[in-house]
A and B are shown apart, each in its own frame.
Chain A
Amino acid sequence: MISLSLPGPVRRYFDNWFETHNPPSRDPIVLHNRRLYILPTRFGYLFAVMLLLLFLAAINYQNSMAFVLTFMLISLAIISLWYTHKNLLNINVELLMPRPVFCGEFCELKFAISHRNQSRRYAIGMQYDQQPPVYFKLDPEGSTTAVIKLPTQRRGLFKPAGITVFTRYPTGLFHAWGWLRFDLPVLIYPRPLENAKLQQSLVEQSDGQTSTSTIEGDDFAGLREHRIGESLRHVSWKAYAQGKGLLTKTFQGHARPSLWIDWQLIRHGSQEDKLSFMAALVLSAEKHGQKYGLRLPGKMIEQGYGSAHRNECLQALAVFKQSDSEQELPLASD
């Protein structure tokens, strides 16, 4: 509502003010007095207009009970201002460690919400930007969780801002809200190229002798649990000596070639296209059980596989920036 008519400088002033008074936090945020704001809602203003009419009517008819009613409703509004504020006061909001997502997916932010008061809290909403809000309530000294979904637009480290906790309970005449700005970035992986495009790109990129990925073979691939009946030749006795139990060495032959996903070997497309392509390759390799490594300018990840390896690679892609061009890390906070 304020945004309707604020001139630029005033708005910048307010934005600044909000920023300095709601610093991003790594810890749970307690919505104490100084973090809570309250303003009348549209209906609050309508109510005020109605009260004015009622007051004029009371004067005109010199009707004492109409005065009583007017004053009663004014008082009711004052009390409900206080109640609305109280409904949100001293609520503790903690952002639970968010899971990384691919760009374009919805990022799910899970909040643990609690309070230590004896009162019940009703109809508290949590909202990101203009998304539909989620509502929750709290029992005395109770706790709950709320999940809000954020659309993601850019890869990188995303610090969610613009999330509000608000309430208009009980009368809807006032809107109390607090800002949630957490210093907990969400990792957003590049959007992987879709499968069909991946095939096409592979053909395009491999124009000639070199392939986008170099393939090696017959390498030690890793350890897995020994199964009864397997040849003892492949048991890792070193691991056994370390007390890790019987583990079987696995090898990857030509059937499951290992590969390098190399920035240098991808020639076409913008930086983001390249990263998308690489992300798709990582996923595809992981899916087919291939061993893979990543080569980026200024960063190399040794070959390997498994979800931890995959995540490491994707993270490297997510936060990648070209050092020579001094490009800012794309922070997708908006």
Chain B
Amino acid sequence: MPATDQNLPMRSIALEVANRNSVFAVCFCFLFAIAPHFPHLPLWVSGMVIFSLGWRCLQNIGRLGEVPKWILIPMIFVGGVGVFAEYWTIVGRDAGLALLTVMSSFKFLESRRHRDLLILVFLCYFLIATHFLFSQSIPTAVMMLVTLIVITATLITINKREQQVSPRELLQTSSRLVLLSIPLMLILFVLVPRVPGPLWGLTNEQRGGITGLSDSMSPGKISNLIRNNEVAFRVDFEGNVPPQNQLYWRGPVMADYNGYRWKQLPRQQMERLSLNVSERAIKYTVTLEPNGEQWLLALDVPTLLIADSLMTRDFQLLSKKTINDLRRYTMESRLVYEIGLDEAQDYLQKATAYPEQSNPETIAFGKSLAARFNSSDEILNEVLGMFSNEEFFYTLKPPLLGENSVDEFLFDTRRGFCEHYAGSFALLMRAAGIPARIVTGYQGGEFNEVGNYLIVRQSDAHAWTEVWIKDKGWVRVDPTAAVSPNRIESGLDEALADESSNFRIQNRNPIFGNLLYHWDDLQHNWNDWVLNYDENRQRSFLNKLDLGIENWSDMVVALVIMLVAVTGTFWLISWYRELPPRPPGYEILFRRLLRKLARLGIEKKPSEDSRAFLQRISSQPIPSQQLAQADQLARIIDLYNHIKYGRHGDSTLLLKQMRSMIKSLQT
């Protein structure tokens, strides 16, 4: 028998012309999978998708013909060129997605057979992965789980061979498949040995749409950022959280001033960490949301170097790669420190430079301060005193400033946000001959008691200054604190109470506040356990489990054991559920009786019912000593029929009686 020739009639099925329902199902499924991408795609690409799906559906009901090859092939070419014209590349996240989308919508136009539809469904599975390049948040994950169920239901639709299966049942089967996969997925997720990436060069692409600190500061820049309430990073402290007014999160440091905008000096890596510290370090772990830049935020002042990062000579921590994904790192900082005591002369020169022609009033005022006072401290205090005593206001809605912005601010409008105060203060200091620079970053944070961690949002963005004083080094001076002590002590909401701002969860939503803290905690754990689960995390987690899983091969063994155990359990459960129903109690007892009688050589014929059987054995000559037993037997069979045919539901008492009667029947 040529057995192996016939077992897989695959090719014939693959080439079958796809049926109508399957085509509709695949169109819907593709739309479902691609729709969340529409905001990321150029309009014409989205249009292309709608056009192709529409055409394919109309073709399906016979309103339109097939797109001829001589139109389709040039269209494919034009699509490719279009994507290139849009992005000037065809690789990378955005361009790659656009190309994939365009090509799969063309695939729809030429999909005729069963095989084409299956390939399109596989493409839909692949599309799910592309969503995760844009967001890996919990809502995205939930949405993708739903998408997975829809795609799987489509796959089932294609494979049901035109049989009637209700949509409800389709979704049920597909949900069951997907949900049963979750335990196996978890095992694989935990135990599949992780390999450090990347395997091939990643284009270090700049991704638009990420908010965060920028590499320059001018009036209005930070107050724009403040309006954004997204989480910038979350911090788990080992030990107590320092007081709010000590929480200065150091970001980009700017010492280059052109009269309007503060910028970073060309980066110079710190050769050796030179600082005087006395107290013990504060240890904490930062889970940084992607910021599209290189900033690694750290509590002022960071005193630890970590992998894949560097520290500039102005104590700015930088990642070597653009931070496009969640980043988690453990840092150490000191709150009391002396830095830059031996600052290089050239740097100090740059830190006192300013263009003479702009802001003449400010410069003149600064020079006059230098003439009036002897020490730097006195000058500082004079300016800070001016900020706190005179009519300066802290506001998110400062008036627009012209060319000489600092002059206008200091001597005219006197309403500003942290960048106005920090900028004008630093310029005054420089004019007075004191080296000064701007530090941007975040100040404060919101403590989440549910998960015991600090949430720092974009709205906590802040700018302050550092001035260099001989024998003290770089000293942090926050002019905003002089204007609005509330900002530093309590936070933005309190400082801007007049403008009824509500950035904090409990202020934003007093009723569901606690729920929102739980939600944020969930996100934090998600970041921590799911998104940051890399080879280090895997190793430490498996160590913590203490199951002796130490290396690569242990993991594989554990993986196989777990997979077999779980699938075995599933199999057992389904085997058990598919068993024929257990016979009722009286039947089991009756069978026991028959077995007992069989040992005496009395057997019931399959054709007899219980009464006929009883009649037959009663009419048989029975050995005399068993005569009494015959009565008993008759009673048991009567009882059996009584239970079986009588109308009294479940009668455990009668069953008990029957059991004891059978037991007492002597053989």
Contact = CB atoms under 8 A, between A and B. Distances in A.
B9 A133 contact: yes
A57 interface: yes
A75 B12 CA distance: 28
Contacts of B182: 72, 75
A162 interface: yes
Contacts of A210: none
Interface string B144-163: 10001000100110111111
B4 A14 contact: yes
A29 to B, nearest CB: 16
Contacts of B174: 170
Nearest to A46: B122
Interface string B88-127: 0000000000000000000000000000001100100110
Chain B: interface secondary structure?
helix
A241 interface: no
Contacts of A15: 1-4
A3 interface: yes
A171 B531 contact: no
B533 A64 contact: yes
Interface string A49-83: 01000101111111111111111111110111011
Contacts of A79: 177, 180-181, 184, 570
A210 B189 CA distance: 90
A164 to B, nearest CB: 6
B344 interface: no
A61 B205 CA distance: 13
B202 A172 contact: no
A132 B136 contact: no
A67 B578 contact: no
A96 to B, nearest CB: 22
B5 interface: yes
Given A82-B570, A169-B156, A171-B177, A125 B4 contact: no
B280 interface: no
B534 interface: yes
Interface stretch (B190-198, B403-411, B547-555, B585-593): B190-198
Given A170-B155, A171-B152, A65 B141 contact: yes
Nearest to B533: A64
B163 A123 contact: yes
A76 B159 CA distance: 16
Interface string B503-525: 00000000000000000000000
Interface residues on B, range: 35 or more
A67 B126 CA distance: 12
B184 A78 contact: yes
A75 B4 contact: no
B295 to A, nearest CB: 20
Contacts of B78: none
B129 interface: yes
Nearest to B177: A79
A161 B14 CA distance: 25
A43 interface: yes
B574 A172 contact: no
A175 interface: yes
Contacts of A166: 7, 9
A56 B578 contact: no
A322 interface: no
B577 A69 contact: no
Nearest to A74: B188
B578 A117 contact: yes
Contact of B129 (A18, A42, A69): A69
Given A118-B578, A171-B152, A60 B199 contact: yes
A238 interface: no
Interface of B: 1-14, 118-119, 122, 125-126, 128-129, 132-133, 136, 140-141, 144, 148, 152, 155-156, 158-163, 165, 169, 173-174, 177-178, 180-185, 188-189, 192, 194-200, 202, 325, 530-534, 563, 567, 570-571, 574, 577-578, 580
Q: Which 6 A-B pairs have the closest CB atoms?
A: A75-B184, A75-B181, A71-B188, A65-B132, A172-B159, A123-B161
